[in-house]
Structure 1
Amino acid sequence: MVYPVTVVGAGPGSEKYILPLAWGVVEEADLLVGGESALSIFEAAGKEKIRIRGDLQGVLDHVAEARETKRVVVLLSGDPGFFSLLPLLRKRFGVENLRVIPGISSLQLGCARLGLNWHDMAVASVHGRGLEQLQQVCSAGKVAVLTDEHCTPAVVCRYFLEHGSHFSLVWVLTNLGRPGEEITLTGLKEGAEIDDRGNSIVILLREDACEGISCASEEKAAVEEPAVEGLAVEEEPFFEELVIKEVIEEAVVEELAIEEWRDVVTPGLANELFMRTRTPLSQEEVRALVLSKARLCRGMVVYDLGAGTGGWTVETARLIAPGRVYAVERDPAAAELARMNLKRFGLTNAYVVTGEAPDACAEFPRPDCVLVGGSGGRLQDIVQSAASWLGPGSRIVLSAVTPDTFSAAWGLLQGDSWEQLDAVLLQVSRVVSRGEARIFQGENPVFILQAVRREGSDS
């Protein structure tokens, strides 16, 4: 019996994005054929494997021979219908001998991350194809380009600059759906200076395309996932990255003011030093107390979960250098601002990932301390994971802006994994002018909790 060849879309490289039907087909397969990344997703299946390297004709010959006695599944990254080997397979075996199971393409995931529709987007791939592919999209309003190690995002941006293409916003998206996911908002000139980031997607929008996006704000608010603690998504502007450009142009922070803080060794940097949008920045007094409770030391590895626009990340990176901060933030706009703030302070010992904790921490080194500024509704998962990450005597410090979150955190830290539980409620009031008088104006109170990993306990 000669079996048909089943072609499976392996998505962007994470098992989370594999269709259930694809899992079932792989279970029934005798032989898996694919690139190293796609095959690694199904490593636990224990199947015979052939890795696709340079000899495509040899691989096809092997598939042709194997399908006479074996169920062969060819794994293609992303979706088989999107810049893949599917045309080559169709030509060799005929469409009647192929069974194709779709997958989530990197473009789909990238547009989902940015809240963009992609039905009207011009798409080109220079991955193994060369820059001449860009000629057909130079005049489009919305463009997506798949890059490689030779035609990098910087090379693509330089091409558009040299050909007079005027794109107002440029995103570079790398490692989508995988550990180390990175999303950078930039412009053409700045994008032309980005180092490496070879296998990425570059999404470019002209000014008129940007204006069209803002009309969809109500639709996005209706389908967006629950907001990070303390944020009301419906009250925020649609896709906050669109206003970052204005912030960069309008938020003037004197370099001299930052220089005054370079050698300061205590936490509590002035809020005015940070680049901000409407995404909240923690109060400087809260940061000072949180980081004091954390008992930070130089050389530590610290997780900053729910990093927001990078207040804790910046402060921690300064205090623990040459140690490293691994920050996780689910909102791409806030994560990008965190990266900008790190750059503003000249800090290179912090790594910001766009994603959700604790999943996004899978590839991080073990921490010496865990800071939790926002949980995205996964507080229990985060606290339980922290117990497995941290060694005895290491600390977790959490902040909460609502009594409900405080109560949940307090209860979770009562478990056998933790000891020396402590909590404070911090209320900051500032002197402000009201006409000719000066009064105290209260800020929102913040709960701060800390606990120490108990020795000899199970997580």
Structure 2
Amino acid sequence: MTEPVHVIGMGLGPTDLTAFHLALIDRASVLVGGKRHLSYFEDTTAVKKEISSPVSEVLDFIEARMADGLLVVLASGDPLFFGIGKTLIARLGPDKVIIHPNVTTMAAAFARLKLPWQDAAWVSLHGRDNMSALATAMNDRDLVCVLTDPENDPWIIKKQVDTHDYAWRMWVLENLGASEEKISSMDEHADPDQVFAQPNVVVLQKGERAAPSGPLRLGTPDNRFVHEKGLITKAPVRVLSLAALELASDNILWDLGAGSGSVGIEASLFLPDGFVYAVEKNQRRVEQIKANAERFNVKNISVILAELPDGLANLPAPDRVFIGGSGKNLGRVLDMAATVLKPLGRIVVNTVLLETLHLAVSVLEAKGFGVSLTQAQVSTSRNMPWGRRMEALNPVWIIAGEKRKD
């Protein structure tokens, strides 16, 4: 019976191999790997095959030589992390392949920089046109690790960094695990003639604060608010939501599940004689609301840390209510808000979930509200190194309910 192919992740190099890995390599009849990996085992008696283009020929060789004895494939890092493991499983079948994982380039890069990376995004530009994935990762995450190649090198990535709305720290890690390993930081003073050794990997860390703020206005750009991983009512939807609220200058507005506070803070523009009560259950986001209020010098806002509907009983009766988030408690929150809302007051709910849409409409209509619906489907431009592309935002339902006179 033909023995399965063993695919061994090299980690950063031979020192990351265990005694078990080394025993497999020593017993191999056929050894397949990149030129650098094979050079570590020149003394073995195995037949050696270098992985080169086209990969289909290497796969043909592996399939033909499996019957010759133990066949071992040496792979970079972890074979199933942007490695050859997936390709071999697809070609030979899962029963014919055994994967031996090891340290990934991503794990090693963050270890070198002493950065926790459980929330990081990984983007591979190695042999692929994937700049749109990099742009998306930079918009959504605070940490990004990028696998490069000679064409998609650190300078290409820096062009993307330089056109982004946030300030980023950028590191290039060359030859990880080798004696010539080098780590450098790229900033505005980087030598434009610098050439980086291959292989290298880039790590990006988003600045703690958003880009310098401009004045508060209708449709204030998202990047002028401090917010968490894109958790903000996007500017076009914010404009539509504020229009649906039909604010009067002296209104009391409840901003419930306030997140970064962008809706309530922008609503303050229309409330010179009114007031905003922002209720949010997450302490970090409460601090973000306060930071945004300070940034835009908004004085007519109070921030309450509470899980809805807690925190509402002691607030002044509202003229307007905006609900951007309340989770599983939406029904109770709507019931309380609708009960204390002043006559002819308005409640606006934003949601991307059909279940929430149904619940909000059902509760409001049951309480005698006149209800109207708007679905917003917006695409915004994203800068690319050579131009712009359009990126669709999640469709959002804007549910507006008006309380009839008693």
- Normalising to structure 2: TM-score of the pair? 0.48
Tell me the TM-score normalised to structure 1 length. 0.43
